[in-house]
Amino acid sequence: MYDEHYTRLNQYRSLWILVFFDLPTETRKERKIASTFRKKLLDDGFSMFQFSIYMRFCASRENAEVHTKRIKNNLPEHGKIGVMQITDKQFGMMELFYGKKLVETDKPSQQLELF
């Protein structure tokens, strides 16, 4: 029987990882390094929130730690990178605007669990 208070992905247990970065892009080599870092984020399931902010939904803290560890393993030598984890509940309280128009945040899709 369906309980309206039950959700498969608990809003306090599931997390969003936000990656903020400001990487140097003055030389061709620096642009390539910045592009490679961004591509690795995309390959790991992150999506662009804003130009230098990428985000990824994780169903558990353990899953978030795996992705955070991958980010740390791919850090470029120069630049500033911030990684923040917030609960799905906190993410859902964010207000997003396009200009003065309020828009709804996207809900994460249910992910297939194999065990």
3 labeled part of a ligand binding site: no
**Are 95 and 17 within 8 A, CB to CB?**
no
Residue 59 is encoded by which pair of tokens? 């169903």
CB neighbour burial string for 20-37, b if at least 16 within 10 angstroms, e if fewer: ebebeeeeeeeeebbeeb
Which residues sit in the known binding site for Mg(2+)? 22
Which residues sit in the known binding site? 22
